[in-house]
Amino acid sequence: MAKLAQVAEIISQETDVPAETIKPETTIEDLGVDSLEFMDLLLVIEDKCGQVPSQRIAHINTVGDLLAEIP
Amino acid sequence: MITFQVERWATYFPEAKPLWERHWKAIAIDKEEIKLNVDAEKYAAMDQQGVLHIQTMRSNGKLVGYFLAFILPNHMHYLGAGLMAFTDVYYVIPEYLKGGNGAKLFIEAERTMKARGVVKAYLSCKVHHDHSELFKKLGWKLSDYAFTKLLKG
């Protein structure tokens, strides 16, 4: 849950989506990001939480998927 | 659910054909002078020869995006350097661009071409559909400017 809170806070800062509304089942589409914003978001998360394996990035459809890929 | 996979021409193109039309209408230049007329047989032959890379994006099984590249086994300038990929065409239905799906398509195309043995890939975009910031973010290096000129008429 601590990891979710940390990632939700980062996402909120990058997207203006309120952190408390971000759940594991929230989709990346729900965040309203385009490709450039998605890459920016990913870079910030990797910077703060660790590298997401490149072969897994395309399979990240939800915040829960993202959490599962963070070391 | 969005999925990414490598496909063969025979399964890809029948479904992709209307998307190519939509794609052409959306981004092609010189449309009055040069009409879209895909040589499907030539593509099929190239696929059979192993020189075509087709990365697709599907939403619950429906084709919503694609990336195609020609794979050159022996670049005439760089014999022995390994496979080189020259991007032919890429497109995502605009409604499916949300959530970083465009970036994911390029990431998967790069990953699967690398897995195939490609050592260098070339990619471009239209000036009026400029994706250069995204490409840089994905690690691509700006190396060329391309120009076109109509010589007929």
- d(CA B56, CA B13) in angstroms, rounded, equals 11
Rounded-to-integer distance, Cα A11 and Cα B37, Å: 44
A2 touches B: beta carbon within 8 Å: no
Residues of A in contact with B102 (CB under 8 A): 34-35
Read off the pLDDT band of A50 (50, 70, 90).
Answer: very high
Say if CB A40 and CB A19 are below 8 A apart: no
Cβ of A40 within 8 Å of Cβ of B137? The answer is yes
Give the helix ranges, DSSP H, for chain A.
Answer: 2-15, 35-49, 54-57, 63-69
Task: Say which residue the tokens 């992709």 belong to.
Answer: B16
The pTM for the full model equals: 0.93
Give the nearest partner residue to A28 out of B100, B111, B137, using CB atoms. Answer: B100
Task: Report the chain B residue with the minimal C-alpha distance to residue A57.
Answer: B104
Chain A environment of B4 (Cβ under 8 Å): 58
Cβ-Cβ contacts under 8 Å, B103 against chain A: 35-36, 38-39, 57
Buried b (16+ CB within 10 A) or exposed e, B65-85: bbbbbebbeeeeeeeeeebbb
Q: What is the mean pLDDT of residues A48-68?
A: 93
Mutate to test the interface with A, among B64, B67, B101 (most CBs of A within 10 A): B101
Distance from C-alpha of A49 to C-alpha of B4, rounded to nearest angstrom: 26
Q: Tell whether the model's pLDDT for residue A27 goes beyond 90.
A: yes
Q: Quick check: B1 and A61 CB within 8 A?
A: yes
> Residue A41: its chain B contacts at CB < 8 A?
100
High-pLDDT (> 90) share of chain B, %: 95
List, as one string, the DSSP characters of B87-98. EEEEEE-GGG-G
Identify the bridge partners of residue B85 per DSSP, sorted by sequence position.
B71, B121
Residue A71's pLDDT band (cuts 50, 70, 90): confident
pLDDT higher than 90, residue B152: no
ipTM: 0.87
Give chain B positions within 8 Å (CB) of A34.
Answer: 97-98, 100, 102
The distance of A32 to chain B (nearest Cα, Å) reads: 6
Span B133-141, mean pLDDT? 95
In Å, how far is A26's CA from the nearest CA of chain B? 11
Distance to chain B for A8, nearest Cα, Å? 16
Model confidence pLDDT, tens digit, residues B12-49:
999 999 999 999 999 999 999 999 999 999 999 999 99
pLDDT at position B122:
97
Does A1 have pLDDT greater than 70? Answer: no
